Structure 1
Amino acid sequence: MMNRREFASLLGLAGTGAVAAATAGAAVTAVSAPALAQQPQGSTFDRIRSTKKLKVAGIVGTEPYYHKDIATGAWSGFCMSMAQDLAKAMEAELEISETTWGNAVLDLQSGKIDIMFGLSPTPSRALVVEFTRPIMQNTFTIIARPGFEPKTWEEMNRPEVKIAVDIGSTHDLFARRVLPKATLLALKTPDEATLSVQSGRADAVIQVAMLSLVTVKKNRTVGKIVIPGPQIRQPTCAGVRAEDSPRFRTFVDNWLEFNRSSGVVTGWITSSLELVGVEKQDIPADLQF
Structure 2
Amino acid sequence: MISFSLNKIFAAAAVALSLLAAPAAAVADDNPSAVLDQIRSSGVLKIPVMTGEEPGYIKDPATGQWSGFYVEFLSEIATELGVKIQPVETTWGNLAADFQSNKIDIAIGVNPNPKRGLVVDYLWEALFTDAWAVLTPVGKPVKTWAELNDPSKTVVVQKGSTMQVVAQALLPKANITPVEDRGLALMELQSNRADGVVLSVFDALQITEKNIGEVSLPEPLLRNPATLAVARKPGNAGYINFLTNWVLQQRSLGQAQGKLMQSWEARGIDMSILPEGFSF
Q: TM-score, normalised by structure 2?
A: 0.74
Count of residues in Structure 1 that have an aligned counterpart in Structure 2: 244
Structure 2 residues not aligned, in runs of 5+: 1-31
Partner of 1:284: 273
Residue 137 to residue 199, structure 1, CA distance change in 2 (3 Å)? same
**Which one-letter code corresponds to 1:62 in the other structure?**
E
Partner of 1:117: 108
**Which one-letter code corresponds to 2:257 in the other structure?**
T
Output one character per residue of 1:102-155: Cα deviation in whole Å (capped at 9) or x when no partner.
Answer: 543344334443212232221111111211232222311011224433322223
Q: How does 1:36-75 map to 2 (within 5 A)?
A: 43-49=34-40, 53-75=44-66
Q: Percent identity?
A: 32
Residue in structure 2 matching 1:175, options 167, 177, 186: 167
Residue 106 to residue 187, structure 1, CA distance change in 2 (3 Å)? closer
Residue 271 to residue 108, structure 1, CA distance change in 2 (3 Å)? farther
Partner of 1:243: 233
Q: How does 1:17-96 map to 2 (within 5 A)?
A: 43-49=34-40, 53-90=44-81, 92-96=82-86
Residue 100 of structure 1 and its aligned partner are, at CA, apart by 0.5
Output one character per residue of 1:189-221: Cα deviation in whole Å (capped at 9) or x when no partner.
Answer: 533433443444333222122321222212x1x
For 1:142 and 1:172, the matched residues in 2 are separated by 12
Residue in structure 2 matching 1:165, options 143, 157, 160: 157
**Which one-letter code corresponds to 2:273 in the other structure?**
P
Q: TM-score, normalised by structure 1?
A: 0.72
Partner of 2:3: none
For 1:128 and 1:49, the matched residues in 2 are separated by 23
**Which one-letter code corresponds to 1:44 in the other structure?**
V
Deviating more after overlay: 121-130 vs 56-65: 56-65
Partner of 1:207: 199
Q: Is the 8 A contact 1:56 1:113 kept in 2?
A: yes
Residue in structure 2 matching 1:257, options 214, 228, 248: 248
RMSD: 2.8
Is 1:270 the equivalent of 2:261? yes
Residue 145 to residue 71, structure 1, CA distance change in 2 (3 Å)? closer
Residue 61 to residue 172, structure 1, CA distance change in 2 (3 Å)? closer
Residue 188 to residue 267, structure 1, CA distance change in 2 (3 Å)? same
Output one character per residue of 1:71-92: Cα deviation in whole Å (capped at 9) or x when no partner.
Answer: 34443112111112212333x1
